[in-house]
C-alpha cells in the first residue's frame, strides 16, 4: 500500500472529489476547445485517480466503493444536464466506468505495491 495512513488518504479522496465535482460542473463557455482536446480521456484519468485514492482510503471495500464512484459519475452527468450549461453524455459515464476499471486493473497488476486491494473475489465486499 502507498504510505498513506487512513485519515490522510480519506482527506485526499475528499479533496479529489471536490476538485472533480467543481471541474465537471464548471461553466466552460469561456474556455477554448483546444484546452481539453479529449473529454473522454479526462474522464478516464479523473476516475482512475479517484479509484486509486478510494482504494487507498478504504482498503477492502472494493465493490461498494466502485459502485459509489460509478453512481457519482452518473450523477455528475445528470447534474451537468440539469444545473449547468453543459450537456450530460452517457459516453462520459462509460469513460468514468472505464477509468474505474483501469484503476482496479492497475492496482491488481502492480507487483505487491498495493496490498490494500483485494486479490481474490472472496476478499471484495
* pLDDT, tens digit, 9 for 90 and up, residues 84-112: 777 888 899 999 999 999 999 888 787 56
Work out the percent of the chain whose per-residue pLDDT is above 70: 76
* pLDDT, tens digit, 9 for 90 and up, residues 32-75: 666 566 889 999 999 999 999 998 888 777 888 999 999 999 99
Helices assigned H by DSSP within the chain: 6-25, 39-57, 62-83, 90-109
Higher per-residue confidence, 49 vs 5 = 49
**Distances, alpha carbon 56 to alpha carbons 9, 45, 77, 93, in Å:** 6, 17, 26, 23
- In sequence order, the 6+-apart residues with CB closer than 8 A to the CB of 38 are none
Please tell me the predicted confidence (pLDDT) of residue 81: 86
Amino acid at each position: 500500500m502507498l504510505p498513506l495512513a487512513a485519515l490522510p488518504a480519506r482527506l485526499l479522496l475528499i479533496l479529489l472529489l471536490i476538485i472533480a465535482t467543481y471541474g465537471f460542473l464548471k461553466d466552460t463557455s469561456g474556455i477554448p476547445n483546444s484546452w481539453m482536446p479529449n473529454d473522454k480521456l479526462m474522464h478516464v484519468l479523473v476516475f482512475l485517480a479517484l479509484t486509486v485514492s478510494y482504494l487507498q482510503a478504504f482498503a477492502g471495500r472494493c465493490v461498494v466503493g466502485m459502485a459509489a464512484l460509478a453512481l457519482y459519475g452518473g450523477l455528475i452527468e445528470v447534474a451537468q444536464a440539469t444545473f449547468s450549461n453543459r450537456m450530460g453524455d452517457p459516453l462520459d459515464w462509460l469513460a468514468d466506468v472505464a477509468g474505474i476499471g483501469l484503476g482496479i486493473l492497475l492496482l491488481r497488476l502492480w507487483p505487491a505495491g498495493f496490498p490494500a486491494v483485494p486479490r481474490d473475489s472472496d476478499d471484495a465486499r
